[in-house]
Amino acid sequence: MPDRPDYPALVAGHTVVIEMINSGDAALPVLGHLLRVAQRTVGAAGMAFVEYAPTSGRIIAATGAAEWALGRPVPLGDPATERLRLGARVQDMRVDALSWELANQPDGSDLRRMVVARAEIGGVMIGSLHALYPDGDDHCGAEYRSVLTYVASCVAHMYGDQAGLPVHGDGPVVAALADGLAIADRDGFVRLWNPAAERIVGRVAAQVLNRPLPFPLPPPGQVLDHRLPDGRWLKITSGELPGAVASRVVTFRDVTDQFRQDHDTDLFVAVTSHELRTPVTVIKGYADTLTDHWDSLSEPDRRQAARVIGQRAGELARLVDRLLSAANDAGPVGGGAPVPFDLVEALRAAVADLPAHLRRRFVLALPADLPKALGDRASLATVLTELATNSDKYSPADSPVELRAEADRHTVAFRVSDRGVGIRSEHVERAFDRFWQGESGDRRRYPGAGLGLYLVRRIVERQNGWVSLRPRAGGGTVAEVRLPRG
């Protein structure tokens, strides 16, 4: 670590950040650049930012030696997280104090120490900024702590501006500060009441502080629809907030015009009817052709019709499986208990089962000596099929789709890379939302239910792995799946 932070790098880099914001950039691209600026300024080997939800966290931005952990879930029960919530705003920690693995990089080098700064709004921790170092004995000086506290405050300010953050709109503790936010103590008395809460409920802070909440409180992690006396409806969520005084953080929004559940139901019906119609129409058309014109068709024509019917029936079966799985969040996804399996053999088998036109596009770079992965081998075919289908949909038909695999000391990974339209940096997390499909016009240009990546993340994370997306250098998208080593 240098004797002092690189302040010129901080000023120059932050100037670029401000220019990006002024030019209309937001969310993850700006956050990623800010982390790269911070890494240079404090001489870290890598940086990571964790966004917290009521029940879990996730690494949504990472640079340098920590970039491989992008997309990794973070348990809230981790002792280091609890220490950060309750202790000083910025702290030195040993990386091996984490219950979630961030120490080991794919190249085998170690990150032994980290300096962590809390990002908070109104006393509520919304995320944590991690600067990672290979040396385990040095302590972070006051100037370095100040820089990291400043950067964490900048990130919190981005959340407060609602500039594309939080990236997980259904989860973060602050759930969009345009929504009402209250903090209640263990007795249910209000300790914090933000301006949006005043606007939504119609009561100023002086009317509610140190009094019981003016509406019912749902159990942590659950959602409650509540009707106000004036007839308006609120959607209320709550989460646990450790501490001696505050115990619950409550967010709420006015959903009078449209209940979110109704919206999801309507969207599910619309997507289902749209996506089922195409394969059913094709199957019926070819079946009618065979029935009505069997004698006049040549043998090759009959075989071609049968092949199309079989292909479309397979697509229909996969679509129905996705729709049923997505409709039931509590249902089983990802098969049985994780066991060691040969990832390379499983990937080759999964590629062999892809439709012929897609199978021909794949370029494999799979090492023969890859360690075994720990997970559910049977579900890997579903994961690869969904990633391959995405690459096929969003890239030219004659462009290759690359499948590579590698391992480090703790994980085994594979990547599916295409050369298509690519994914925007601010969309790399939203792409995993149910029914989400990029811009509103994408559903017309690129048909699909918007369920594939949603199911991929559910399958992988139930095997203690994680999945992430990123733009590919030169154009296209890279999807990376990491599983524990077996």
CA dist 33 and 63 (Å) reads 9
What are the pLDDT digits (tens) for 55-96?
678 999 999 999 999 999 888 777 777 788 778 899 998 887
In 3D space, the residue among 416, 405, 389, 388 whose CA is nearest the CA of residue 343 turns out to be: 405
In this prediction, residue 257 carries a pLDDT of 65
**pLDDT recorded at residue 341:** 96
Cα–chain center distance at 252? 22
The number of beta carbons lying within 10 Å of the beta carbon of residue 11 is 11
User: What pLDDT, on the 0 to 100 scale, is given for residue 180?
Assistant: 83
Task: Please choose, from the candidates 311, 415, 422, the residue with its C-alpha nearest in 3D space to the C-alpha of residue 363.
Answer: 415
Q: Tell me, what's the pLDDT at 444? A: 41
Phi first, then psi: what are they for 446, rounded to 5°?
Answer: -125, 90
CB neighbour class for 252 (10 Å; exposed up to 12, middle 13-18, buried from 19) = buried
CB 479 within 8 A of CB 469: yes
- Please tell me whether the peptide bond between 166 and the residue prior to it is cis, using omega within 30 degrees of 0: yes
pTM score, whole prediction: 0.64
d(CA 424, CA 476): 10
CA 25 to each of CA 22, 117, 131, 165, 205: distance values in angstroms, whole numbers, following the listed order: 7, 24, 24, 12, 34
- DSSP, collapsed to helix, strand or coil, labels residue 254 as strand
Single-letter residue type at 434: R
pLDDT of residue 243: 47
Judge whether 249 and 124 are in contact, CB under 8 Å.
yes
Give the model confidence (pLDDT) of 424-465 as tens digits. 888 888 888 876 665 434 444 444 556 788 888 988 998 899
DSSP 168: -
Task: Please name the residues in contact with 269: beta carbons below 8 A apart, sequence gap of 6 or more.
Answer: none
CA distance 456 to 206: 47
Low-confidence ranges of the chain (pLDDT < 50): 170-176, 243-245, 259-260, 267, 274, 330-333, 439-447
Instruction: Work out the number of other CB atoms within 10 angstroms of the CB of residue 227.
Output: 11
Residue 81 neighbours by CB under 8 Å, 6+ apart: 57, 74, 75, 128
HSE, side-chain direction, 13 A CA sphere, residue 450: 22
Domains and CATH numbers, the chain: 7-160 (3.30.450.40), 180-254 (3.30.450.20), 260-327 (1.10.287.130), 339-484 (3.30.565.10)
- What's 181-235 look like in SS3? EEEEECCCEEEEECHHHHHHHCCCHHHHECCECCCCCCCCCCEEEEECCCCCEEE
